[in-house]
Structure formats: structure tokens, C-alpha cells
Amino acid sequence: MFVLGIESTAHTFGIGIVDAEGMTLADAKSVYSPDEGGIHPREAAEHHQESCLLVLQKALSQASISLPQLCAVAFSQGPGLPPALRVGAVMARGLAYSLKIPLIGVNHCLAHVEHARYFSKAERPLIVYLSGGNTQLTTLEENRYRIFGETLDIALGNMLDMFGRAAKLKHPGGPKIEKLARHADGTYLSLPYTVKGMDLAFSGLLTAAKRLLKEGADLKSVCYSLQETAFSMVAEVVERALAHTQRTELLVTGGVAANNRLREMLQIVAQNQSACFASVPPKHAGDNGAMIAYTGLLLQRGKIETLLSASRVQPKWRLDQVEIVWD
């Protein structure tokens, strides 16, 4: 029994395959990277169309299985860029229909969260989900993920990518900023710090960091100061949330969780609050098909599937709208 999962919300076209225990047997992907500027939705969709069959072949060969051995096809139904989402949805419908197996629409945010929980084995963690489109603090309460802190404007990863563009770094900026910051001499340049209760805002920080660049400040020092400021803001809300919720486990997930400095800071926060710290493994932090396949497996165990008539993509689907039928 194998579940195949298709990811196509934004830059990545990925196909993963998991076995009945949720273990990843395949995690194939092709990532669209614009020559300049940010992600263009139509270009991302074209990239996905061109690469989808090759990625499918790669995934099947990694897992050493053939299509008739699949018992369900899961796909990222949202949130994401509509043209990109549709490529994955069309492929998933075609596979499910021709193989006569269930189709399972998966919320992409839920997949980041559940896959991280799977690796960490944390029971009731406070989860920080930091990525290109999301910055959320959440806990599972009965049958919903409750979001009690998020960004008021742009997501943390998006802010890093936009700064990266201003600094002429190739998309995505996050990993390049991390590298530059690591080689900085530790000079901290003052930047605005915006925390409102459990919420965060990053656009003022972005504007100020871009201004520093224009004024000729050293790029490495700006990257360092940008990371230190943004990650301290996250650390502050996480610390408060741990104290309020009295959760004893902290789990970080999403593309930005690949950042070593961020994980280091959150680990210190967890320690101060006597909580255990865990992170999604960096290689599974960014978008991938395996997390969709794994969440598809959870949904299938919960007897949830998606009828063809209900399989339209949901570009604005939020994590807290999903009913959770497992612990």
C-alpha cells in the first residue's frame, strides 16, 4: 500500500511516495527558479507542466514501485498560486481516475505541520510555521489547528526573498542571506522591530533594510542585522506563546526552518521555557511531495477523500479551516 503525493503550490513541482507507515520512499522534485525577480505564476505553471512526467518517473523509480501499486493519490489543493496549483490537480485527477483509486486534496500548510510532527514525534507541540507565504504560531486543539499569532503583513520568507531581490541575490533569497550573515563581522545595524502581542509585521523592517543597502551599508552586515532582528521577533512571540499555552514541546517547520541561526535561537527559547525543541529535518523543510503523500495517508486513514466534483484548487485555503480527524 503506497500513497503518492503531488506538490505544486508555488516554485516546486514535487512527487513523493510513502508506505503504509508514512516512511518516505521517494521525494522527487524540480524547482522553478526565475532568472530575475520573484515567482511569475504562469511561468511556474509552465515549468511544472514541462517537468511533471519526468518527476513522476523519477519518483516511481526511487520507490521501485509501479503505478498499479498505489492505493491513493494526494495533491496540494491549496493555498497557492492558481495556475501552478492546477497543474498538480490535473495530474492527480488523471492518475486517480485511471487507476481507480481515491483522490485526496491536501492543505499545503497542514502538510508542512504534520510532516514535521511525524519526524519529531512530538505529541502536543507549539508549532511555528515559517515559509514563503506563511508565518504562523499554532497548536492542535481538539479537531482544529488554532492560529494565535501570525504576520500582519508579509511572511518571513517572503520578506527575506524581497530583500534578496533588492540586493540582487538570485531567488530564493533566504539561503543566500543566511550565508552572507554567517560571514559578517557581527556589526549590528539598527533596524525596526515590530511585535504586536502574538503578531508580527515585517514590511517596515524590509523597507529599512533596503534603505541601508541604498545608503551603501555593507551587505553582509545588513543580512546579519536583518536575520537577527526578524528572528528575535519570532523568538519573542514564541517565548510568550510557550509561557501562555504551557506547551512543553516546540516544533519549527516550513522553508525558513532550514535556517541554522533561526533554529539556534528557537532552541535557546525552548530551553529557557523548559520545553523540548525539534525542527523538521532541513532537507524536508521546503516544499516537497513527500509531505503531501504523508498527509494524504493520514487523511486516508481518517477515511477522507475528495470527490472529483470537489477537487477544484483552493488558492486561499487556510490551515485553521481543515478538520483534523487524528490526534
Give the CA count within 13 Å in the CB-facing half-sphere of 253: 29
Q: Is 248 or 267 the residue whose CB approaches ligand ATP more closely?
A: 267
Closer Cβ to ligand ATP, 149 or 157, answer by number: 157
Taking the least distance from each CB to ligand ATP, the nearer of 60 and 262 is 262
Enumerate residues 113-142 that contact Fe ion by CB under 5 A.
Answer: 131
Select from ligand ATP, Fe ion, none the partner in contact with residue 28, using the beta carbon and a kind-dependent cut-off of 5 to 8 Å: none
Asked if residue 174 binds ligand ATP (CB under 6 A), the reply is yes
Q: Which of ligand ATP, Fe ion, none is residue 220 near (CB under 5 to 8 Å by kind)?
A: none
Peptide bond into 172 cis (omega under 30): yes
With respect to Fe ion, which residue has the nearer C-beta, 239 or 287? 287
Asked if 322 touches ligand ATP (CB under 6 A), the answer is no
- Sorted by sequence, the CB contacts under 8 Å of residue 246 that are 6+ apart come out as none
List C-alpha distances in Å: 118 to 84, 215, 216: 27, 46, 45
Taking each helix axis from N to C terminus, what angle separates 173-182 and 156-166, rounded to the nearest 10 degrees? 80
Name the residue nearer to ligand ATP (CB basis): 126 or 156: 156
At closest approach, how far in Å is the CB of 219 from ligand ATP? 16
| Binding region for ligand ATP (CB under 6 A) out of 63-71, 136-144, 158-166, 189-197 | 158-166
- Is 8 a binding residue for ligand ATP by CB under 6 A? The answer is no
Tell which one of 178, 228, 239, 287 touches Fe ion (CB under 5 A): 287
Taking CB within 5 to 8 Å according to partner kind, which of Fe ion, ligand ATP, none is near residue 14?
Answer: none
> Please, what is the minimum distance in Å from the beta carbon of residue 138 to Fe ion?
15
Query: Restricting to residues 61-120, which ones interact with ligand ATP according to CB under 6 A?
Result: 108, 112
**Interacting residues toward ligand ATP by CB under 6 A:** 9-10, 108, 112, 131-134, 157-158, 160-161, 172-175, 178, 254-256, 258-259, 286-287
**Interacting residues toward Fe ion by CB under 5 A:** 131, 287
